């Protein structure tokens, strides 16, 4: 890899780390960049996943103020992300990539729709709870199941898992959007981290360590930038950013497919 190509990978990592922290779908920057440089798809996916872990971590740390008092919720959701991420990583190694590739655009569109209608769904859910027609426990179970499913997807590929997760959390929780973004960053870190461990244990031959290092450097910088920018966005603006990035992600994946 030339110096110019290495710089390109670092810049892609910065962009991915920033977008992952603010919205999600940073993989749609780094993954195509690695393919452009001739890196085999599975090696690119595995190496990219590991390299983005430091960026996810710095982004989550950047949202620590929004996460004060979040321990009870995270204690329920973190195990779901852990299990889902591990399962998704295993599926990447044993299944035909075409299986998930076919449904990824649909999942992203569903996530976008949930983000858009999230406030109305939350208000509707709150009314149902007040009227006794639904329970907080039921919402907690649905949120846990959605977190698990997103974890499976995130461990497998990861692009736009943040968008999907924000849609689920926004639809089932009355928490402020920035707080939910903090949840998203923690849960995405868990998913990426456990997937990285699986890859390290059973797929070392598919890891390009130079790529991992370059993306890790870039994503770490991007995670800091993303937390700085993302935490200052008003909820309507953040919601708009999520929708725009999600639509671009869907378009790119459909065209590429």
Tell me what the pLDDT averaged over the chain comes to.
Answer: 81
Average pLDDT over residues 196-225: 92
- Confidence at residue 59, expressed as pLDDT on a 0 to 100 scale: 86
| DSSP letters for 119-131 | HHHHHHHHHHHHT
Q: Is pLDDT at 95 greater than 90 in this prediction?
A: no
Q: pLDDT tens for residues 108-124?
A: 677 677 667 656 665 66
- Confidence at residue 241, expressed as pLDDT on a 0 to 100 scale: 67
> How far is the CA of 105 from the CAs of 36, 111, 112, 186, in angstroms?
21, 10, 11, 24
pTM for this entry:
0.77
Q: Is pLDDT at 91 greater than 80 in this prediction?
A: yes
More confident: 93 or 221: 221
Q: Is pLDDT at 133 greater than 60 in this prediction?
A: no
Q: How far, in Å, CA of 134 to CA of 94, rounded?
A: 39
More confident: 166 or 145: 145
Residue 25 in 3-state DSSP? Answer: coil
Q: How many domains does the chain have?
A: 1
Q: Which domain holds residue 115?
A: 3-256
- Confidence at residue 131, expressed as pLDDT on a 0 to 100 scale: 55
Q: Is pLDDT at 64 greater than 70 in this prediction?
A: yes
| DSSP letters for 10-29 | HHHHHHHHHHHHHTS-THHH
């Amino acid at each position: 890899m030339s110096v110019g190509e290495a710089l390109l990978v670092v810049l892609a990592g910065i962009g991915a780390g920033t977008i992952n922290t603010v919205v999600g779908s940073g993989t749609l920057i780094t993954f195509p960049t690695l393919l452009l440089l001739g890196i085999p798809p599975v090696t690119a996916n595995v190496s990219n996943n590991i390299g983005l872990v430091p960026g996810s971590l710095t982004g989550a740390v950047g949202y620590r103020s929004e996460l004060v008092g979040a321990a009870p919720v995270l204690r329920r959701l973190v195990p779901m992300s852990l299990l889902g991420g591990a399962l998704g990583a295993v599926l990447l190694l044993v299944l035909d990539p075409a299986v998930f590739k076919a449904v990824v655009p649909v999942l992203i569109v569903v996530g976008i729709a949930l983000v858009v209608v999230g406030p109305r769904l939350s208000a509707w859910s709150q009314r149902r709870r007040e009227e006794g027609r639904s329970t907080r426990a039921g919402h907690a179970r649905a949120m846990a199941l959605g977190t698990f499913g997103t974890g499976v997807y995130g461990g497998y590929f990861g692009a736009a898992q943040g968008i999907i997760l924000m849609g689920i959390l926004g639809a089932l929780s009355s928490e402020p959007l920035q707080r939910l973004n903090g949840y998203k960053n923690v849960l995405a870190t868990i998913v990426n981290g456990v997937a990285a461990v699986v890859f390290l244990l059973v797929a070392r031959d598919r890891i390009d360590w130079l790529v991992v290092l370059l993306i890790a450097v870039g994503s770490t910088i991007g995670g800091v930038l993303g937390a700085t920018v993302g935490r200052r966005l008003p909820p309507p603006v953040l919601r708009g950013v999520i929708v725009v990035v999600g639509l671009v992600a869907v378009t790119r994946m459909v065209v590429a497919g």
